[in-house]
A and B are shown apart, each in its own frame.
Chain A
């Protein structure tokens, strides 16, 4: 294959030169030899060229042979039995293994590059969900964690405003009735259910409103809600009714505390999940493993090759 490519690239002059030299060294097939001799009979320039090449060859053959300046024998006291070299013995196997690993490594990288981005995000969300509970426990008011919290703040404020409007009803009615009267609780319950099973859709659903509401919530509002995030579930609605004399701030503070408790008890929150998936890119374990294996095999192969004589 390689020889064919090289021959294909050679000019006619190069091919003729090679044929002349091979003719001198008696390395042509009978058919090639006959063809060249016919050409030589016709072409005087070719004969002259052949004659010059012959002179060069004879000049090289007449170069004097030199005597070895000394004996190159080994001292038996210095050299013992030749040691076995396992890496050298295994060199052909190592070379094959390195080639195969390189192939699969490139394949893995190619598949990873060509894979749809959704699958990438999904796999990223899984380890994030495992860490969600512990991160929620910390309840650190970082910017990333504050995004879903901001959504919660706005939502709770909306609820409180509605509660103020129907204050008399809140005092008299039960918790179940209150849940029915607060229409905003319904979509949050749905979202909370999604958050309990962390998926890419759940994460993206939460990330979008959080980004939209970020600017509408002042930092002081974030400080009033130390919990990073928690979606209020329908179970929390019985606790919402309060006496009318309580201020909005006090209600909000209490709601925040309750939300923090629920976060640890009910479901992992999407807030750290989203943060983790954006901070730490997906680790392609297969590619990393193959890459490490390839590096090791390459080193061993190079050592073995170096020890080849």
Chain B
């Protein structure tokens, strides 16, 4: 069954049909929320809230990409949370430790334990730098570089102009570069900026 048919059934009150959409997109929604708010528990709440809001507002969906529409709801909810907290989300030491211990990376067969550890460290540093960005730049960077959306998609998801997308991405990467340069010594040699790999 295609997506539009599922949405039509969900509009008529078929929650089970809607749940198929949820299962299909929940990982994406959770990851975006997780990168933006920086806290697993809050990201979980935001994701659940976004799926409920999307179901209740299915009448507002005018067709097109359901995924883009859902991501708009998720990012709006993230904005709300960040505004409510009025502070930049900071990952606690416990969370970072937990992430390290829970081994978030899949280790490939040819990757040595050392290489895996280095990659994990790099990811940790990048996440910290990502959390130091202003919310709107962080959201744009997450959508573009983490999730791989192109400029037009991001403009549609965030309801902003293409010029704004370009500007935000440029500023976000510049700040990330500055942040990573500050913590160069923490990075493995091959991951330091300016070093040819």
A59 to B124, alpha carbons, bound, how many Å? 11
Contacts of A74 in B (CB 8 A): 15, 18-19, 22, 51-52, 55
Report yes or no: B55 in contact with A79, Cβ–Cβ below 8 A. yes
Q: Within residues 121 to 154 of chain B, which ones have a CB less than 8 A from any CB in chain A? A: 122-123, 126-127, 130, 141, 144-146, 148, 150-151
Say what secondary structure dominates the interface of chain A: loop
Number of interface residues of B (CB under 8 A): 66
**Minimum distance in angstroms from A195 CB to a CB of chain B:** 64
User: Known interface pairs A52-B177, A52-B193, A72-B26. Does A80 touch B13 (Cβ–Cβ under 8 Å)?
Assistant: yes
Contacts of A60 in B (CB 8 A): 126, 130, 141, 145-146, 176
Stretch touching chain B among A19-27, A126-134, A172-180: A19-27
**Minimum distance in angstroms from B31 CB to a CB of chain A:** 6
- Whether a CB of chain B sits under 8 angstroms from the CB of A118 is no
- Whether a CB of chain B sits under 8 angstroms from the CB of A41 is no
| Closest chain B residue, CB of each to CB of A78 | B15
- Whether a CB of chain A sits under 8 angstroms from the CB of B115 is no
Report yes or no: A66 in contact with B104, Cβ–Cβ below 8 A. yes
| Closest chain A residue, CB of each to CB of B180 | A56
**Minimum distance in angstroms from A69 CB to a CB of chain B:** 6
**Minimum distance in angstroms from B41 CB to a CB of chain A:** 9
Contacts of B76 in A (CB 8 A): 309
- Whether a CB of chain B sits under 8 angstroms from the CB of A6 is yes
**Minimum distance in angstroms from A220 CB to a CB of chain B:** 71
- Whether a CB of chain B sits under 8 angstroms from the CB of A89 is yes
Report yes or no: A59 in contact with B55, Cβ–Cβ below 8 A. no
A residues near B (Cβ < 8 Å) are: 2-3, 6-7, 10, 14, 17-18, 20-22, 25, 27, 48, 51-53, 55-57, 59-76, 79-85, 88-89, 307-309
A-B contact pairs, 8 of them (CB 8 A): A3-B163, A52-B177, A63-B126, A69-B30, A74-B19, A75-B15, A81-B12, A82-B10
